[in-house]
């Protein structure tokens, strides 16, 4: 049963249980049509330009990010993540420029990170003083993103990663196991409200940022590897349950998330969680979000709630997200994958060494995901100063060049009878990118829109092509073909259909360097 909370859930038909969420929720058409969103996974951890999870890793002796921090700021007993927050000014942030770029890339929705596991709120938080309106940029980051995104016709979302603060931050209560300062606790263990006098965080309690010493590294460990193993076994566990020893944390998370939802009325709420976070609190928030949205939209369900690893018996209660992963085939419920062209938090050496995902690989991923009833949410890492680098801009512009010409095969489309064909097998589920092989010009993905069938090759393709799915005498090949053309070219292609497939030749320069998109017209094809 829902708990009595200081901030009650909005009244409405949704109750805070799985049966109610599943029986009543339906994904809105805008999400099914959108297909492509861009995410600003941006906060103070981007300031050092040293990659993801910087705030946690600076407190782990021997980790490369800890070495970066010590060279830049000093020993974490003297200068911790609070000092990074003080450096973050977002002085070159131009949201109008970035959002114009993302619209040209074809994005139909935009998601802003509201907070990360570092427990810093990027919005005008009523319940948490450690926020971007009081320090750092001194601006309502989420509010500005929301206003400007909606002015461009984009749906607006927020991502909340705060449910893991209580264990993720415990490294800040540790110490160096080895070296000159062995055993000296880091700043989270020593700082108090009084230490903020005369600083940018005057009047705030550092324990409200770091979460409190719920399971600090025990004393007496004298080996850095042993300390790392302890953290992995204890505070490094990806735990979705409420912390038994800190019930106040759950109440704080709920109040802050409800404040976020009520203040900005997001079209999409992304939880960086497996299933819903923090037990009943997560269910209460889901019911509140759904009920509140009905009030915002005149009784129409028009919002999306994302979590990951949703058990099959709960399918349909929300829109499942498959982080940096794949589906092997079409699934009946709309879904989303999120990925990043680099690290989630900006990492400069990826730019310097040209190790970003290419625009071609992003487009191929988009085509694969859409053919399987999914959406792609792409993170473009933002530097601490609020800008993106020249490589990122080039990649986003190349994505836009493709979508401007071939977007009819993507936006507003639906899956066909099968998702596609070709030699490249994909791993099923989360975090499969490192194991996946690149797509080829012989990999094809199918979509439908407006009575048309589209076939897209996931790599450059000219010359002979056979689409086996359109073989005569097969269930997928049912229908009568009338015309085949390359999108972007007015000329019809000669084709031949037989028991082995649809045979045609793609002329040189008729396609795109990322691959060819065919528009297939006929009767009974879709």
Report the pLDDT value the prediction gives residue 6, as an integer from 0 to 100: 73
Does residue 438 fall inside a structural domain?
no
The Cα angle at residue 69 between residues 65 and 70, in degrees rounded to 5: 120
Tokens describing residue 249: 């944390």
Supply the pLDDT for residue 345: 98
Predicted confidence band of residue 434 (pLDDT cuts 50, 70, 90): confident
**Shared-domain flag, residues 348 and 403:** yes
- Looking at every residue in the chain, the average pLDDT score rounds to 96
Residue 433 counted as domain residue: no
Last residue within a domain, chosen from 393, 409, 425: 409
What pLDDT is attached to residue 440? 96
Please compute the mean of the pLDDT values over residues 268-293 and round it to a whole number: 97
Kindly list the distances between the CA atom of residue 168 and the CA atoms of 41, 55, 119, 332, in Å, as whole numbers in the listed order: 18, 9, 10, 35
Query: H helices within 180-277, ranges in order?
Result: 187-190, 206-210, 224-233, 247-264
> What CATH number is given to the structural domain containing 491?
2.60.40.1180
Given 409, 439, 460, the domain boundary residue is 409
Give buried/exposed letters for 113-146 (b at 16+ CB in 10 A, else e).
bbbbbbbbbbbbbbbbbbbbbbbbbebbbbbbbb
Residue 356: alpha-carbon gap to chain centroid? 16
Do 344 and 250 sit in the same domain of this protein?
yes
Residues 241 and 388 in one domain: yes
How many domains are there within the chain?
2
Q: Are residues 344 and 485 in the same domain?
A: no
Q: Both 167 and 303 in a single domain?
A: yes
Maximum alpha-carbon separation in the chain: 81
- Three-state secondary structure call for residue 218: coil
Spatial contact of 277 and 289, defined as CB atoms under 8 Å apart = no
Q: Shortest CA distance to 66 belongs to which of 231, 239, 214?
A: 231
Using the predicted structure, report yes or no on whether residue 249 has a pLDDT greater than 90.
yes
Q: Which of 150, 27, 39 is nearest to 377 (CA)?
A: 39
Domain enclosing residue 492, as ranges = 450-523
Residue 420 lies in a domain: no
Q: Which two tokens stand for residue 71?
A: 């060279």
CA distance 399 to 403: 6
Which residue among 344, 379, 409 closes a domain? 409
515 domain residue, yes or no: yes
Give residue-wise pLDDT tens across range 113-122. Answer: 999 999 999 9
Does residue 353 share a domain with residue 265? yes
Please give the order of strands across the beta sheet that includes 517-523: 414-421, 444-449, 452-457, 517-523, 480-486
Residue 1 has pLDDT above 60, yes or no: no
Evaluate whether residue 432 is within a structural domain. Answer: no
Tell me if 6 is assigned to some domain: no
Same domain, 341 and 468: no
Residues 392 and 249 in one domain: yes
DSSP assignment letter at 112 = E
Instruction: Supply the DSSP symbol for 113.
Output: E
The CATH number assigned to the domain holding 142 equals 3.20.20.80
Cα first-last separation, the chain: 46
Which residues are CB-contacts of 190 (< 8 A; sequence separation ≥ 6)?
77
Clarify whether residues 107 and 25 are in a common domain.
yes
Asked whether residue 2 is assigned to any structural domain, the reply reads: no
Do 28 and 155 belong to one domain? Answer: yes
Each residue of 86-104: pLDDT tens digit?
A: 999 999 999 999 999 999 9
Do 456 and 397 reside in the same domain of the chain?
no
Q: What is this structure's pTM?
A: 0.97
Q: Give the per-residue SS3 of 266-305.
A: CCEEEEEEECCCCCHHHHHHHHHHHHHHHHHCCCCCCCEE
492 and 388 housed in the same domain: no
Helix (H) or strand (E) holding 104: helix 95-105
Tokens of 10: 């909005």
pLDDT tens by residue, 332-381: 999 999 999 999 999 999 999 999 999 999 999 999 999 999 999 999 99
* 445 within a domain of the structure (yes/no): no
């Amino acid at each position: 049963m829902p708990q009595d909370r200081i901030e009650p859930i909005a009244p409405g038909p949704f109750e805070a249980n799985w049966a109610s969420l599943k029986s009543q929720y339906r994904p809105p058409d805008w999400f099914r049509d959108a297909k492509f969103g861009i995410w600003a996974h941006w906060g103070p951890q981007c300031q050092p330009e040293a990659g993801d999870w910087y705030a946690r890793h600076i407190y782990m002796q021997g980790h490369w990010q800890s070495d970066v921090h010590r060279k830049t700021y000093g020993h974490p007993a003297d200068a911790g993540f609070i000092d990074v927050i003080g450096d973050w000014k977002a002085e070159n942030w131009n949201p109008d420029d970035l959002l114009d770029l993302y619209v040209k890339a074809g994005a139909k929705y935009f998601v802003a990170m509201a907070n990360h596991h570092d427990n810093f709120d990027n919005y005008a938080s009523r319940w948490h003083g450690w926020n971007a309106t009081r320090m750092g940029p001194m601006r309502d980051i989420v509010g500005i993103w929301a206003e400007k995104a909606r002015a461009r016709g984009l749906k607006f979302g927020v991502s909340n990663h705060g449910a893991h603060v209580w264990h993720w931050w415990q490294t800040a209560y540790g110490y160096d196991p080895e070296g000159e300062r062995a055993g000296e606790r880091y700043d989270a263990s020593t700082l108090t409200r009084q230490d903020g006098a005369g600083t940018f965080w005057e009047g705030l309690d550092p324990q409200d940022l770091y979460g409190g010493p719920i399971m600090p590294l025990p004393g007496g460990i004298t080996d850095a590897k042993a300390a790392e193993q302890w953290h992995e076994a204890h505070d490094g566990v990806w735990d979705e349950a409420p912390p038994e020893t800190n019930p106040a944390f759950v109440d704080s998370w709920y109040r802050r998330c409800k404040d976020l939802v009520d203040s900005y009325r997001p079209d999409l709420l992304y939880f960086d969680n497996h299933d819903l976070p923090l037990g009943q609190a997560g269910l209460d928030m889901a019911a509140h979000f759904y009920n509140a949205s009905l009030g915002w939209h005149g009784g129409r369900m028009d919002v999306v709630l994302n979590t990951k690893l949703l058990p099959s018996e709960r399918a349909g209660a929300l829109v499942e997200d498959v982080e940096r992963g794949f589906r092997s085939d079409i699934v009946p419920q709309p879904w989303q994958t999120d990925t990043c062209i680099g690290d989630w938090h900006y990492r400069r050496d990826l730019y310097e060494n040209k190790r970003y995902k290419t625009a071609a690989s992003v487009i191929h991923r988009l085509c694969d995901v859409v053919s399987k009833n999914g959406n792609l949410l792409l993170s473009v890492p933002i530097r601490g100063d609020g800008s993106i680098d020249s490589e990122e801009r080039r990649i986003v512009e190349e994505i836009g060049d493709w979508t401007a010409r071939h977007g009819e095969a993507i936006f507003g489309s639906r899956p066909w009878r099968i998702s596609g064909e070709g030699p490249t097998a994909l791993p099923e589920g989360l975090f499969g990118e490192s194991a996946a092989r690149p797509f080829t010009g012989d990999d094809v993905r199918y979509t439908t829109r407006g009575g048309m069938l589209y076939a897209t090759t996931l790599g450059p393709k000219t010359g002979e092509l056979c689409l086996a799915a359109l073989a005569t005498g097969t269930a997928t090949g049912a229908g009568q073909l009338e015309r085949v053309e390359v999108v972007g070219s007015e000329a019809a292609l000669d084709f031949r259909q037989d028991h082995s497939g649809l045979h045609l030749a793609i002329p040189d320069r008729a396609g795109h360097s990322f691959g060819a998109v065919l528009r297939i017209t006929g009767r009974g094809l879709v």
